[in-house]
Amino acid sequence: MIDINTSENRILIVDDEESLRLTFKMFLTKEGYGPVDAAATFEEAIALIDQHIYDLIISDIVLEGNSGIDLLRYLKESGADCPVVMVTGYPNIESASEAVRLGAFDYLSKPVKKEGLLRVSRMALQQYALWKEKEKLQEDKERYRQYLETIFRSVRDAIITVDSQLRIVEMNDTALSWTKDMPEVAIGAHISSIPGACGKICAKDAEKVITEKVEVHEHRIECEIDNSKSRVLQINAAPLENKSGEFHGVVLLLRDMTQVENMQQRGKRTTFHRLIGVSRPMQTVYTLIENVGQVDTSVLITGESGTGKELVAEALHIESPRHDMPLIKVDCTAIPENLLESELFGHMKGSFTGADRDRQGRIIQADGGTLFLDEIGDISQLMQLRLLRFLQERTFYPVGRDKPVTVDVRVIAATNANLKQKVEEGIFREDLYFRLRVIDIPLPPLRDRNGDLPLLANHFISRFSKRIGHTITGISDQATELLCSFSWPGNVRELEHVIERACVLCKGPTITSEHLPAEIFNHKPGLPVRNTYMSQTKQESQPPISSASFPEQTEPENERIVRVLRQTAGNKAMAARILGFDRSTLYRKMRSYNIDILPTP
């Protein structure tokens, strides 16, 4: 039997005898149920039902001017679905059958004993909880089915699923478009009904998958589709299995490589919203954002610090139907753990010390729009549970409030941590991980983005030269070569700081090698890199800290953090850049090592 939380069950007692109302209320309250409301008349009961959502109603069948049957009839017409227990002193077959027909859960005869009242109440609430759980599971199942169908339809490759008899089960929009002039290719037809070499290869690959239960990768064949000239198709086949590993058929994916090559020949995008890059990994990111942006589902953005996860969240919001509504950003590591719950869910005045007024949380502010949770991998187990409940039910309770709030919010999360590893270690909830990771967008590190660095460098030069009021027209080939040979442990953010420093130091129109930090100027490809860059913009009066001032890599991390904080006189932003951390990562490590916060000069 399902467990119920008695303190979260609202009950209404309807009886014109005050002594019975008070007695029933006392019995239920002492048992832990609540809140328990009471009404003396039919009209009072209707007013309360219109104001609140009840989990159980206990009503006398005889009310002044009306009856409990009238109340049952009103509940049925209004769509209320909570269980109703009828109470009467004169039971008869007619009233009982009418009450059951209108949906009454049970029938109690007066005098009602405490044990009988509590037993029937417990059974009614347990059945109601089971019904609600079933409804929620059905809603979740339907929602995921719609998500998958939307994704299935939106993919630009042709997707065909076949059963173990090689009969076509389903085709996405692209496959239907390709075969619209082929009446022989339809649901229920054999996969070999696709004309020419394409059908033969698909049938052969699908048969191999069915026989050996393995994926078959990448045939490239020339064939005619859509009554057009010959195209090159890439065909992949994989088993179609459920979570239990039960085999249901084969998924065939057909990609038009001619179209891909034509797109590449027409030229790649160099920018997409605020993202910049021409490399193949970034083209993949752009395509993912375009496809996923329109699908109203949770997205998890993963990647190292400084790769641009926040920019991807912004692009997803702009691409979504919610683009006219707010995008609310929350850095989960920048907010102290004891305030994060209030910051997200809001609080009521007086709910804790210092809560001198009601405050809307970030979730309410994002209603109708998008909520971006950065560094989600660092929240506590308690916050993970609260966030999971919110993602499941789209309702939450502000701190200090017992009435739920319902919102319509799309959640995008980001992390530089390996959440899968954290799940295996028991640090991060597996159910929350899968709730967040409906769609995963991995961001490549800068070192894997071949050809993007010159574009990014020139973009930052343009931005910072305008900011400092000094015209800088470019960067020398030698300086560009040094930048391209560096491995960039701090990714795009580190490059941004390096270019900012170079713009400050540059007095002419061109950035040269001498304007770059020592660890980049002296770096030799293949050697380990320590991100020791420190911007000169805010510390020109301080002596520079070169890479030579750092001990060997064997130095314990906590001692290295303390030493760098002392060298920077407690300037945590500067220390984070030297250590190669994001600032929020530095704060987190300081807390984990119990390092006192040093004063900023």
Burial of 135 (0-12, 13-18, 19+ CB in 10 A): exposed
Examine the pLDDT at 172 and tell me if it is beyond 70: yes
506: alpha, beta or left? (left if phi > 0; alpha if psi -120 to 50): beta
State the Cα–Cα distance between residues 472 and 19, nearest whole angstrom. Answer: 87
Residue 90: per-residue pLDDT: 67
State the Cα–Cα distance between residues 189 and 172, nearest whole angstrom. Answer: 15
Cβ pair 15, 60 in contact under 8 A: yes
3-state secondary structure of 302: strand
Residue 310: per-residue pLDDT: 93
> In this predicted model, what pLDDT tens digit does every residue of 408-465 receive, in sequence order?
899 999 998 888 888 988 889 888 898 888 888 999 999 988 889 999 999 999 899 8
Lowest mean pLDDT among 95-104, 323-332, 561-570: 95-104
Task: Tell me the range of 54-68, 143-157, 246-260 where mean pLDDT is highest.
Answer: 54-68
Per-residue pLDDT band at 495 (split at 50, 70, 90): very high
> In this predicted model, what pLDDT tens digit does every residue of 363-410 receive, in sequence order?
888 889 999 999 898 888 888 888 888 888 888 777 766 777 888 899
Closest CA to 31 of 57, 68, 5, 52: 5
Of residues 520 and 64, which shows the higher confidence score? 520
> In this predicted model, what pLDDT tens digit does every residue of 524-534 receive, in sequence order?
655 444 433 33
Q: Measured between alpha carbons, how far apart are the two ends of the chain, in Å? A: 62
Closest CA to 154 of 278, 327, 297: 297
Query: What DSSP string describes 198-247?
Result: HHHHHHHHHHHHHHH---EEEEEEEE--TTSS-EEEEEEEEEEE-TT--E
Residue 166: per-residue pLDDT: 92
Question: Going from the N-terminus, what domains does the chain have, and what CATH number goes with each?
Answer: 6-134 (3.40.50.2300), 155-266 (3.30.450.20), 271-444 (3.40.50.300), 551-601 (1.10.10.60)
Burial of 261 (0-12, 13-18, 19+ CB in 10 A): exposed
Per-residue pLDDT band at 596 (split at 50, 70, 90): confident
| CA 29 to centroid of chain Cα atoms | 39
Examine the pLDDT at 228 and tell me if it is beyond 80: no
Examine the pLDDT at 264 and tell me if it is beyond 80: no
Pairing mode, strands 410-415 and 370-374: parallel
Closest CA to 489 of 459, 523, 512, 458: 523
State the Cα–Cα distance between residues 172 and 76, nearest whole angstrom. Answer: 42
Examine the pLDDT at 207 and tell me if it is beyond 50: yes
State the Cα–Cα distance between residues 535 and 477, nearest whole angstrom. Answer: 22
Per-residue pLDDT band at 350 (split at 50, 70, 90): low
Which residues 6+ apart lie within 8 Å of 189 measured at CB? Answer: 167, 168
State the Cα–Cα distance between residues 209 and 164, nearest whole angstrom. Answer: 10
Distances (CA, A) of 258 to 231, 277, 278, 472, 513: 6, 23, 20, 42, 43
Per-residue pLDDT band at 328 (split at 50, 70, 90): very high
| CA 280 to centroid of chain Cα atoms | 25
pTM over 0.75: no
Residue 553: per-residue pLDDT: 42
Q: Any idea how long the chain is?
A: 601
State the Cα–Cα distance between residues 543 and 535, nearest whole angstrom. Answer: 12
State the Cα–Cα distance between residues 364 and 368, nearest whole angstrom. Answer: 9
Segment 485-494 shows an average pLDDT of 90
Cβ pair 253, 159 in contact under 8 A: yes
Residue 532: per-residue pLDDT: 34
User: Contacts from 384-391 at CB under 8 Å and sequence distance 24+?
Assistant: 384/428, 384/429, 384/432, 385/429, 386/341, 386/344, 386/345, 387/344, 387/432, 388/429, 388/431, 388/432, 388/435, 390/345, 390/363, 391/298, 391/432, 391/435, 391/436
State the Cα–Cα distance between residues 569 and 106, nearest whole angstrom. Answer: 73
* Most distant CA pair in the chain, distance: 101
Of residues 225 and 454, which shows the higher confidence score? 454
Distances (CA, A) of 279 to 258, 270, 379: 20, 8, 33
Segment 524-545 shows an average pLDDT of 39
Residue 460: per-residue pLDDT: 92
State the Cα–Cα distance between residues 210 and 206, nearest whole angstrom. Answer: 6
Residue 111: per-residue pLDDT: 84
Segment 183-201 shows an average pLDDT of 87
Per-residue pLDDT band at 601 (split at 50, 70, 90): very low
Residue 544: per-residue pLDDT: 37
Residue 317: per-residue pLDDT: 93
Cβ pair 364, 412 in contact under 8 A: no
3-state secondary structure of 422: helix
Cβ pair 39, 74 in contact under 8 A: no
State the Cα–Cα distance between residues 290 and 531, nearest whole angstrom. Answer: 34
Examine the pLDDT at 297 and tell me if it is beyond 80: yes
State the Cα–Cα distance between residues 13 and 57, nearest whole angstrom. Answer: 6
Burial code (b: 16+ CB inside 10 Å, e: under 16) for 519-537 equals bbeebeeeeebbbbbbbbe
Question: Across the strands, what pairs with 193?
Answer: none
Q: Which amino acid is at 429?
A: R
Question: Across the strands, what pairs with 162?
Answer: 168, 250
Residue 300: per-residue pLDDT: 93
Segment 43-51 shows an average pLDDT of 89
Centre a 10 Å sphere on the Cβ of residue 462 and count the other Cβ atoms it contains: 15
Kind and range of the H or E run holding 412:
strand 410-415
What the block records as the tokens of 462 is 């343009």
Examine the pLDDT at 469 and tell me if it is beyond 50: yes
DSSP 419: H
Examine the pLDDT at 273 and tell me if it is beyond 60: yes
Lowest mean pLDDT among 260-269, 306-315, 342-351: 260-269
User: What is the edge-to-edge ordering of all strands in the sheet holding 36-39?
Assistant: 36-39, 11-14, 56-60, 84-88, 106-109
Residue 552: per-residue pLDDT: 38
Residue 197: per-residue pLDDT: 81
Per-residue pLDDT band at 127 (split at 50, 70, 90): confident
Compute the 3-state secondary structure of the chain and give helix, strand, coil in percent, each to the nearest 5: 45, 20, 35
